[in-house]
Chains A and B, each alone.
Chain A
Amino acid sequence: MLKQTEGSQAVAEAIALCRPEVVCAYPITPQTHIVEGVGALVKAGKIENCEFINVESEFAALSVAIGASAAGARAYTATASQGLLFMGEAVYNAAGLGLPIVMTIGNRAIGAPINIWNDHTDSMSMKDSGWIQLFAETNQEAVDLHIQAFRLAEELSCPVMVCMDGFILTHAYERIDVPSQEEVDAFLPPYDPIQVLDPVEPYSIGAMVGPEAFTEVRYLAHEKQLQALRRIPEIGAVFKDVFGRQSGGLIHSYRTEGAETIAVALGSVNGTIKEVIDGMRDDGAAVGSVSICSFRPFPLDELRAALVGAKHVVVIEKSLAPGLGGIVASNIRMALRETAVPVYTVIAGLGGRPITMNSLREVLEAAGNMRLPDVQFLDLDHGAVEREILRAKQTRRAGPTAENILRNLGHAAVAGND
């Protein structure tokens, strides 16, 4: 049903439609509204046979989900930022155990300096944990991806993270088609576990594995991701049959026919990028864009096919690998390793910094004119950075960098509900 609603609320309703049996919650902005929404639905009796457990930390949230999933129940939780790091050990564990938990990440920066606003550093920190990572471009896609995520996770017995941009999506009100229970039931069968704790057939789950078999176990985790690479588009196609719209898949290409410069990005910034592409196309520039929906597994072949005709690939990414540059760009280079297409990294939107159409257009034009460096920080205040570097050179006891930069820029400390 089409309705005007908040992204988080719509996701909460989508989760409810998926008939979870155990939901664990711990508050952290900007994910909180989602679990609050699910909690309210459970408390009002609107989700049959579901327990909502308020835990003492994110580490416990995912650990409870691990136990519930191993007992054969459909388990869900959500987190963001510091919360994802706090549960880090359990994130790897859930994947290692092959438990099909679905978790929403309301993407947010990671401190220090503490910052509640959007970027992708949190999800990127867990990119190699063995979870499937799907990035939503819109709130509609966030809703749809959650429904697909349970099916994908349970088919493969592999946990799935649905990543949606904090605030930009989680807190945005817009028209969203929240499907009916009948539609979701037609698409998502009940969870039929491949392993379950059962006194009738007692398994030992989580035994110690030494060098003689560890590589094989890890290889199978890799193989599972490769299977996901095949299943994600197939599940997307089934989804389209049932719900009548295209959502999910591995990548979405936009106006890439004949494009010389192609922008690549994850998540909601693709909306802005498309508008920039439209504007530049109107002005005769040969530009296009590719949105990566599935970051893990990473669709190497699909990206190569989508990008190989370009002269410049500009990766707009909301995370930074300090000392290297771009994480997504490094992955894209892997896809283009047999080609001569240059890949540029543009680090943008860190800690909620707006990514403006003007700035995007500038970098895409610069790439076309061969003026873009390998790694560029979008809208970096070079003056402030230079002044701070100089100051730090002059005094040993230079003090805390973050506070100095704020003072330097003439801002008072900014408060938020972190």
Chain B
Amino acid sequence: MTDETALQRVKFYQTGTHTVGNRLMDKARRSVQASMDRSNAITSGHRACQGCGEALGARYALDAALRASDGQLVAVNATGCLEVFTTPYPETSWQIPWLHSLFGNAPAVATGVAAGMRRKGRADVRVVAQGGDGGTTDIGFGCLSGMFERNDDVLYICYDNEAYMNTGVQRSSATPPTARTATTPAVGDAPGNIFGTGKNLPLIAMAHNIPYVATANVADLHDLEDKVTTAMDIRGARYIHIMVPCPLGWGSAADATIHVARMAVESGLFPLFEAEHGRVTRSKKIRRRVPVEDYLRPQRRFAHLFKKGQEDTERIARLQRMADANIERFNLLGERETP
């Protein structure tokens, strides 16, 4: 049994958080975050909102990438919350070389950094590019697709908080149906974002046949770190899509970030899976399935679905069908042998 499959098969019986305690893990598999001398790519003192999932996701991912690359890491950042809250002049939270160019060009800039490093005899320096969902699925999409298509040696990480947060919570092509944003207000017959729109970037990334695509979530640190480590072991274009709740944009409590993120997974709305060369190779089973309401209710962006006496049962059911379809498609209950 390989290490990888062991992780899937060994069951840790716990109550409460459902996360695997660090002490139960093999030493080598323990989280970077638990180490006394953790790499700390983004150090404290940055200006993210309290409970920011993006700050958490970025630190988890980059610390894991730092460990995997032995500290030989460069990050390229698209414009967005992460860029703004980490580098208010003249301060910076970045403990690693970091380059911000524009909103829509991070994948191309990263391609250039990787090429430059190779030409300078520094192919050991690995390159991560990162951006929000807007920077990734919308304005940077052309550059991202180009980077994928050329199979450039870049790990691209999307921190998906399902809207343009830095500019004040506007709809992106990653905003889910019914969600209220500043440009999909909760008014009219069908308040919030409409159904039948949006794009699924992990699937689009897979369609480029790149060596590795994965989705991850801040509620599952070990899974996230494993995926980053796997990605860092591979050369070529890699894509990790991390769901990162945004308390400000989602209207969720600052201390509920991990809970909300977990409900997204447990409801099936955000499937966790890995794919190699265009084929899904693994999906992470749901531990204890919950109805989509459990995910939606703690977020004020969905409050209009749950108005007293006039619950929008029809559209909640439609969201449930989306979750069910994910569960079926990605085998999230483990009903099939193969993913």
Contact = CB atoms under 8 A, between A and B. Distances in A.
Contacts of A205: 97-100
Contact of B101 (A56, A90, A209): A90
B113 interface: yes
B92 interface: yes
Interface stretch (A69-77, A270-278, A308-316): A69-77
B88 interface: yes
A65 B96 contact: no
Interface in B193-220: none
B119 A64 contact: no
Contacts of A64: 108-109, 111-112, 115
B145 A56 contact: yes
Given A53-B111, A56-B146, A208 B88 contact: yes
A207 B88 CA distance: 7
Contacts of A93: 101-102
B168 to A, nearest CB: 16
Contact of B102 (A24, A49, A63): A63
A60 B146 contact: yes
A66 B71 contact: no
Contacts of A67: 76, 99, 101, 108-116
Interface string B75-95: 011000001100111101011
Interface stretch (A116-124, A133-141, A167-175, A195-203): A195-203
A59 interface: yes
B117 to A, nearest CB: 5
B73 interface: yes
B99 A197 contact: yes
A22 interface: yes
Nearest to A210: B89
Contact of B119 (A49, A56, A204): A49
A156 to B, nearest CB: 20
A89 B108 contact: no
A150 to B, nearest CB: 15
Contacts of A68: 112-113, 115-116, 119
Interface string B99-133: 11110110011111111111110100100000000
A51 interface: yes
Contacts of A164: none
B94 A199 contact: no
A206 B100 contact: yes
A50 B120 CA distance: 10
A71 B105 contact: no
Contacts of B101: 63, 66-67, 90, 93, 97, 206
B89, B95, B145, most chain A CB atoms within 10 A: B89
A155 B210 CA distance: 40
B84 to A, nearest CB: 6
A65 B102 contact: no
Contact of B74 (A51, A53, A75, A199): A199
B41 to A, nearest CB: 10
Interface residues of A, number: 44
Contacts of B113: 67-68, 70-71, 197
A201 B95 CA distance: 9
Contacts of A197: 74, 97, 99, 113, 125
Nearest to B92: A204
B142 interface: yes
A67 B125 CA distance: 14
Given A22-B116, A49-B119, A60 B97 contact: no
A138 B87 CA distance: 46
Contacts of B142: 56-57, 59-60
A280 to B, nearest CB: 50
Contact of B120 (A54, A73, A212): A73
B116 A202 contact: no
A205 B150 CA distance: 26
A56 B143 contact: yes
A208 B99 contact: no
Given A63-B109, A67-B111, A206 B116 contact: no
Contacts of B19: none
Contacts of A154: none
A186 interface: no
A55 B140 CA distance: 14
A21 interface: yes
Contact of B97 (A21, A69, A90, A199): A199
Contacts of B143: 56-57, 59-60, 63
Contact of B83 (A59, A89, A208): A208
Interface of A: 21-22, 24, 49-51, 53-57, 59-60, 63-73, 75, 89-90, 93, 97, 197-199, 201-210, 212-213
Given A64-B109, A89-B104, 13 more contacts: A55-B108, A60-B105, A67-B113, A71-B114, A71-B116, A93-B102, A199-B96, A199-B97, A201-B97, A202-B94, A202-B97, A205-B99, A208-B87
28 contacts: A21-B119, A21-B120, A49-B119, A55-B146, A56-B149, A59-B105, A60-B142, A63-B143, A66-B101, A66-B105, A67-B110, A68-B119, A70-B116, A71-B74, A72-B116, A73-B119, A89-B105, A90-B101, A90-B102, A197-B74, A197-B99, A198-B125, A199-B97, A202-B97, A204-B100, A205-B99, A210-B89, A213-B90
The 10 closest A-B pairs by CB, nearest first: A67-B112, A71-B116, A56-B146, A206-B100, A63-B108, A73-B116, A207-B87, A63-B105, A68-B116, A64-B112
